[in-house]
Structure 1
Amino acid sequence: MSARKKALVGMASAALFLGFSGTASAGSYNGVCESSGGGEVCLYRLANYSGGLYDTLYSKSNYSGSTYYGTSTLIDNTMSSVKNMDPDTLVYFYQYSGYTGALTAIPPGEHINQVPNENTASSHCFGSNSACPN
């Protein structure tokens, strides 16, 4: 292989690596509520978006064992406020794990300071997920 081809392959490999690592580092469970990568759902322990943050890009069928970022506080049945950072997708919150016991839906881009029936969510599902009952 010529030196030029080797250089091009090396640059392509580096770009591919950087692209993957950049995508993986932005978003889910990094302690920042953001809308990059299609949008996140951000759960907070207390009203007024405080007291701990859980941020995720994905539907979560069960919060059991998950904690607020940088803490040992479990999120299952403890959230009081939520932000749906996805500009296009409705997020459903369920009272029980496995998307059961429907609780409430948060429209795209909405923030709810006092979640109805607060402290009772055990799972959430983005409306675009075909496994999400709605």
Structure 2
Amino acid sequence: MRAFKKAVVGVLGAAALTVGMAGTASAGSYNGVCESAGGGEACLYYTYDYAGWVYDTLYSKPSYTGTYYGTEMPINDSVGSVWNRDPDSSLKLFTGANYTGSVKVVPGGGKFNALNTIFNNAFSSHCFTSNAGCP
């Protein structure tokens, strides 16, 4: 009986370790790292080269009220480039809050540089097309 208990404890311990390891592989929204794990993130950059200040999120955002990670710089109307790290869903970017205004669609895994476009520093909300509330 003691051997059986040790075996059960060993299996449960291994299962807990496996679950813990799987948890670290998923993307962490707003951690300053543009990740593709866990479904992929919308990565909004202040610059036009997909580097530097980033706002990274796994979620659709009806309005940009946050700041770039580790800064006081608001993301609303200041996005220079976008990287959609979700390989399966397109990302719709809107010039107005609550998914209004002009729209730019970035396909799954795609990038968009807003320099010299009508969307230069113009985004105020976004949604993933996999989200049922995305217009």
Sort the TM-score into its range (normalised by shorter chain).
0.7 to 0.9
Identify unmatched segments of 5+ residues in structure 1.
none
Match in the other structure for 2:16: 14
- Deviation readout 1:8-65 (Å, 9 max, x if unpaired): 58526734761574256x332121112111111110112112341111111111111x
State how far apart, in whole Å, the 2-side matches of 1:23 and 1:58 are.
Answer: 17
Q: 1:125, CA displacement in angstroms?
A: 0.2
Structure 2 distance, partners of 1:58, 1:102, is 20
TM-score, normalisation: structure 1 = 0.82
> More displaced, 49-58 or 3-12?
3-12
In 2: Cα distance, 1:43 partner to 1:55 partner: 6
**In 1: Cα distance, 2:42 partner to 2:23 partner:** 22
1:13-52 aligned within 5 A: 14-15=16-17, 18=20, 21-22=23-24, 26-52=27-53
Between the aligned partners of 1:87 and 1:13, the Cα distance in structure 2 is: 29
CA RMSD for the aligned pairs?
A: 2.3
1:125/1:7 Cα in 2 relative to 1: closer, same or farther (>3 Å)? same
Contact 2:88/2:109 (CA < 8 Å) preserved in 1? yes
- State the match for 2:77 in structure 1: 77
Q: How many residues align?
A: 131
| Partner residue in 2 for 1:98 | 98
Unaligned runs of 5+ in 2: none
Aligned AA (2:109): G
**Equivalent-residue separation in structure 2 for 1:101 and 1:5 (angstroms):** 61
Distance 1:21 1:107, change over 3 A: closer
TM-score (norm 2): 0.81
Larger Rg: 2
Q: What corresponds to 1:119 in structure 2?
A: 121
